[in-house]
Amino acid sequence: MLNDNFKEHLQNALSVETIQITSLTGGDINDVYKLSCSDCNYVIKVNDVSAYPNMFKLEAQGLEFIRTSESFPVPDVLTYDNFENLSYLILEYLETGPKNSDFNNVFGSQLAALHKSSSHKFGFENDNYIGSLKQFNTSESTAYDFYINQRLEPQFKLAVDNGYSFNSIDLFYKEISQLIPLEKPALIHGDLWSGNYLINSNGGPSLIDPAVSFAPREMDIALMHLFGGFDPHLFDTYNSQFPLKTGWKKRLQLWQLYYILVHVNLFGGSYYTSAKAILKAYI
């Protein structure tokens, strides 16, 4: 629980006299709390100031990019700052509700709108985070170069440093060079599993916890299929508004490899076996 000094600091930052603090679930990297005030509620995310430099600044930046894409609603950012040895981010508290009957159509339409936001290069203004790991976003001209240089190669290197071994990575890169579609960069959420959207008070989807970049849009689609939790009708609507290139289902594992490698480096275990199986499937 946040101590009294931090609580007083937050009261001053929010210009309120009293705050009731309640722990929330779902914070794997950060401690997450609801701040209940007399006229408004907020969410605060807290972590060690030295553990993840600029994490909350980068999260706020990602939320703003999604907001300006005029696709999904996202929580407003009130502020981010440091206090003593802690870093924190204060967000609007989004009230939740039941899904509307057209929830999946709305989600599919909003995802298509997000992905139609583009840039002249793959990458992003800053490196950011995928979970607790650094995510690299140096500018690249092609989807292939971006995926290899900024996504797979750093994760393979980290995995090897962590004691895992992989065979024929260069051959794998060669084999997939003609599989990746020639498409414009798309603004993607970047960590779009079922825990990173909310059903808002209007019965539609709102996105949280982004790891944004201008990247191949099939990366979002692939992660949504990796852990499940999304209705197939969502993808039907998406395809009706922004059709995916032929063979996208056969490429899902190719994009999922990045997220599986992230899990190898965070958790190990069966994810290592899954990563090796994907390599073998494409060689």
For 98-118, what is each residue's pLDDT tens digit?
999 999 999 999 999 999 999
Q: Which of the four pLDDT bands, split at 50, 70 and 90, describes residue 26?
A: low
The predicted model gives 121-142 an average pLDDT of 97
pLDDT of residue 268: 87
Residues 132 and 203 in one domain: yes
Q: Which of the four pLDDT bands, split at 50, 70 and 90, describes residue 134?
A: very high
Q: What is the b/e burial string over 167-201, where b = at least 16 CB atoms within 10 angstroms of the residue's CB?
A: eeeeebeeebeeebeeeebbbbbbbbbeebbbbbe
97 part of a folded domain: no
Least confident of 11-25, 147-161, 185-199, 249-263: 11-25
Reply yes or no on whether the pLDDT at 70 is more than 80. yes
pLDDT of residue 223: 98
181 part of a folded domain: yes
127 part of a folded domain: yes
115: amino acid identity, one letter: H
Quote the CA–CA distance of 99 and 102 in Å, as a whole number: 8
pTM over 0.85: yes
Residues 226 and 260 in one domain: yes
Quote the CA–CA distance of 255 and 224 in Å, as a whole number: 11
Residues 122 and 223 in one domain: yes
Reply yes or no on whether the pLDDT at 25 is more than 90. no
Q: Which of the four pLDDT bands, split at 50, 70 and 90, describes residue 247?
A: very high
Question: Could you give the angle at which helices 218-226 and 252-267 cross, rounded to 10 degrees?
Answer: 60
The predicted model gives 240-258 an average pLDDT of 97
Round the average pLDDT of the chain to a whole number and report it: 95
Question: Are 46 and 54 in contact, with CB atoms under 8 Å apart?
Answer: no
- Strands 197-199, 205-207: pairing kind: antiparallel
**pLDDT more than 90, % of the chain:** 88
- Residue 23 sits in a domain of what CATH number? 3.30.200.20
The DSSP string of 151-182 is IIHHHHHHHHHTT---S-HHHHHHHTTTTS--
Q: Which of 38, 69, 92 is the last residue of a domain?
A: 92
DSSP 3-state of 36: strand
pLDDT of residue 29: 85
DSSP 3-state of 91: strand
Q: Can you name the residues that pair with 87 across neighbouring β-strands?
A: 47, 82
Residues whose CB is less than 8 angstroms from the CB of residue 3 and which lie 6 or more positions away in sequence, other chains included? none
Query: Which tokens hold the place of 79?
Result: 């502020």
The predicted model gives 219-241 an average pLDDT of 97
Active site residues: 191
Answer with the residue of higher pLDDT: 153 or 15: 153
User: For the chain, where are the E strands, in sequence order?
Assistant: 20-23, 31-36, 41-48, 77-83, 86-92, 128-130, 133-135, 186-188, 197-199, 205-207, 213-215
Residues 131 and 151 in one domain: yes
